[in-house]
Structure 1
C-alpha cells in the first residue's frame, strides 16, 4: 500500500496552510509521506495560479470556480494530475476546494475534505461532501452538526480546533489588548481604533494587521489580557490554544462562516461577541466583560486536534472502498421486468443475487446482471435464506435485502453501509415510496406514512418492531450469521405469502438484535396490480396466521383477516380462522 498522502491547501489567507502543516506533521508521525500542494509559495509543490477569472465560473451553479478560457486553471489541474500519477497517493486531503476534491476523486484517489461552518447547502459543497470518504470538522465534538452536514453525519470527524500554537509561560497583562485581523479584510479601519484607544486610556493596544502581522503570535496571545479577533477558524483555535480572553467581531465572509462560528462561541460562553463594530464608548465595558468571562477554552479541544485529523485521513488511506456489498432479491419469471429495473439502476460493480422461486434458467436469461440461484421451493422465507447463504459464500460483508419490485435510490447502499458501520450489530431499514403505474425513478421520495422516515444521514432506534418491512433492509455478514445461529433467519415454516417478515422482526426483538430506521435510504416500489385484501393468497395467509399464533400467541395480518371475514370468506371457528365454503 502506498504511504503517500497528498494535502491541498487553499491559498487565500494563511489559515489553510497553517492548519495543513499541522496535519502534515502528524501524518508524518504516523508514518506517511505527506506532501502539501498549494498556490501558496510555502507549499512543497507550488501550483500554478488560476486567478485570472473568466466567464461562466460556476458551470451553471454546479461548481464554485471553473471559468472558461483560464489557462492557469488548466495548468493547475495538470500539475495536480501529474503529481498524482507520479506519487500514487493512498489518499488526498483537501482544505478547501470543491473542484480539487472532485478532480482528485475523478483520478481514482480516495478523498478527505474539511468541513466549513456557515451555510453550505449549495450543490457544489454538497457534491464535495457526498464524494468524500471522511469530512474533518475543525471544531469541538460537542458542537451541533450544521444542517448542511447532517446528511453526511456518518463521515464527519469533529476533531477540535486545529492550532499550531501552545500557551507560553508569559504572564498575562490585563491591560494589554491584542487586535488581530485576517487577510480577508475587515469592517473596521484605523480611525475606528483611534477612537477606541481614546475611550480606553487604561489599556494599551497592539495591532497585528496588514504589514504588522508576525509569523508566530504565541507570546503576544499568551500575554494579552484580551484578544480582539474576527471569527475565522484559525484565529478562534489560536486564542483557544493560548487560553486568551476574546472579543469576537465576525466579519462578512462567504457563506456567513464567521457569523456561524461566533454564534457557537457566544452560546457556549467562550467569548464576547459583537455582530457590528461597537461605538468607542462601549469598549471599556466590552473589554472588561471579556477579561472577566473566565472562559474554559479547553472546551474547544485544540489539544491533539491535528493528530485526530491525521488519524481520520489515515483511516481513509487504509480503508477506502467500503465493505463488499451484495443486493439480494427473490423473484419468479413473472417479476423479471421489475427485477431487471432493479439491477440496471444499481451502481456498476455491485453484486446482485436473485433466489429464483421458479424457472431459474428463464430468470437468468431475462436478468443477466444478476447471479440467479434456485430457491429450495416457492417458500419466501427459504428463498431469502438461500440468497443470504450465497452472498456469504461469495464474501459479502453487507447484505442488502431488496424486494424484486423495488429499485434503490442513489444513496441507499451508501447510507445502509454507513449506518451499519456505526451500528454493526443491528438490522437497518429505510423508507419505501410507492410509485404510480408507468413510473420509474430513484429521486423525489414520498415515503409510505406507515413507516418511520428519519432525516437523511441519521438513524433512529425502532420502538415498534412490528413496523419492520422485508421490502428493504440490510445487515452485516456477522449479524446475519448471528441471526442464522440464533433462530435460523426467516422461519421456513411459513408457506407461500404472508407473516414471515413480522415473525422475523419478533425474533429480532426476542434475541436482543437492534432494529434501526435509516434516514435517506429510500427504496422505490414499482407498481403492479394488487388485490386488497390479497384474495390470491388467502390459503397461505390462513396457514401462516395460524402458524404465527402458535408461536407468538397473537394473530398477525389482522386487518386482512377481518376483511376476509367481512366478505364472508372466513370465520373464526373454535379459535381458528377457517374458510366458510
Structure 2
C-alpha cells in the first residue's frame, strides 16, 4: 500500500494486490490545516481530510486482515498506528541519524527491524538497534559481476535520480568542460541541451546496465538503489550526497568512503572541486564491493518475514 503506486503499476506483478492511499498533505479545501512541531511524531498535522481518509483506509484494511505482519518502509506514524491496532510491524532500516525520539519509539515497538544492506554498512547507533536488526546483505536488480571496463577509454556514467538532485545541466557543463579527455554518458531525465562534445545523453533507460558496464567510473547520488547497483557491478563510484531528511545520503556516503568503496562529495561543494584530479586518482583504485552484495539477499529477507510471522502467530 502507498500513495504513489500508480506510477509503479507496470513494474508490479498482477499477483500482488495494490492498495492506493490518498495523499496526507493539505489540499485547498483544508482551510483549518495546522502543522506543529510534535513530540514523538514526525508528521501529524491537524485538519487534513486526506490524512483522515488515509488512516481510515489503513485501519479498515488491518481490521479485515487478522494475522497480518505489516512491513513498513519509512513512516514512523504508520508503524505506530499499526501497533495501536495490535498489528505487529517490521520496520525497514534506513541510513541517516535516526536517534530522534519518534524513530527510537518506532524501533523499540517493532516486532523486528530489517536492513536491506550488510552489517558493515550500518552506521553508528545504539547497540540494541543492531541486535534487533536482520541484515539481508545488499542486493540490486543487477546480478553481481566483476568490473570489466577499460580504464584507458576514460568513460564515465552520470546517473540522474528522481528524488531531487544537484546533478543538473549547469553541473554537467562544468564537469565535462573541466575534463575534456573524458566522455560522460548521462542516464536519466535531463532536459538539458548541451553542445559540449564529450557529453552524451541517453535519457531515461529501463536498463542502464550496458552503459554502466562500459564505464570505469560512475557519478551519482548516494540513494540506496544507486549505491547497491554500483556495488553489484563493482564500480568505482563518486557519491554526491544530497540533502535528505535525517542526513540519509550524507551518512551513507560517509560510510562507503570510510570503507574505501567510494568518494564522498557533498552536493554543496560540486562546483569547488577539481574533477579532473578526482577522476584520475579514482581510476587507479580497485574497490572491492564483494562482501556488500548477497546474491540470496531477497530470499533471506522473505525467510526472515515468514519466520517472524510463524513466531507471532503460532496457533494460526
- What's the TM-score once normalised by structure 2's chain length? 0.81
Secondary structure of the residue that 2:219 maps to in structure 1? Answer: strand
Say whether the 8 Å CA contact 1:167–1:222 is kept in structure 2.
Answer: no
1:314 has 2:286 as partner: no
| Aligned twin of 2:209 | 218
Q: CA deviation at 1:231?
A: 1.2
2:79 to 86, 101, 118: 101
In the alignment, the residues of structure 2 paired with residue 34 and residue 130 of structure 1 have an alpha-carbon distance, to the nearest angstrom, of 33
Name the residue aligned to 1:190.
169
- Partners of 2:257 and 2:164 lie apart in 1 by 22
Gaps of 5+ in 2: 28-32, 191-202
The residue number in structure 1 matching 2:256 is 265
- Alignment of 1:277 onto 2:255: no
RMSD: 3.0
1:89 Cα deviation after fit: 4.6
Structure-1-length-normalised TM-score: 0.46
> Residue in 2 aligned with 1:172?
149
Query: Which whole-Å deviations, capped at 9, do the CAs of 1:151-196 have from their partners, x for residues lacking one?
Result: 3333211222232222579963532211113323223431222121
| Shift of residue 258, structure 1, vs aligned partner | 1.0
Match of 1:203 in 2: 182
SS across alignment from 2:79: helix
Matched, 1:242 2:233: yes
Instruction: Give the conservation status (yes or no) of the 8 Å contact 2:145–2:232.
Output: no
Equivalent residue number for residue 293 of structure 1: 285
Structure 2 partner of 1:135:
113
Question: Where in structure 2 are the equivalents of 1:111-510 lying within 5 Å?
Answer: 111-144=89-122, 146-147=124-125, 149-167=126-144, 172-174=149-151, 175-210=154-189, 212-275=203-266, 276-279=268-271, 282-320=274-312
Q: Distance in 2 between matches of 1:155 and 1:280?
A: 41
Residues 111-152 of structure 1: CA deviation (Å, up to 9, x unaligned): 1011121111111111210111111112212345532x4333
Corresponding residue of 2:194: none
- Cα contact 2:95–2:123 (8 A) shared by 1: no
Structure with the largest fraction of strand: 1
* Larger RCO of the pair (alpha carbons < 8 Å, separation 6+): 2
Moved more, 153-162 or 250-259: 153-162
* Distance in 2 (alpha carbons) for counterparts of 1:142 and 1:280: 31
Alignment pair present for 1:83 and 2:61: yes
The answer to whether 1:51 aligns with 2:51 is no
Structure 1: state its 5+ residue gaps: 1-7, 26-32, 37-43, 323-581
Q: Choose which of 63, 69, 72 in structure 1 pairs with 2:50.
A: 72
The aligned residue for residue 405 of structure 1 is none
- Structure 2: distance between partners of 1:184 and 1:66: 23
Higher Cα Rg: structure 1 or 2? 1
Change in Cα spacing, 1:281 to 1:79, as seen in structure 2 (3 Å) is: closer
- Judging changes above 3 Å, is the alpha-carbon distance between structure 1 residues 82 and 223 closer, same or farther for their aligned structure 2 residues? farther
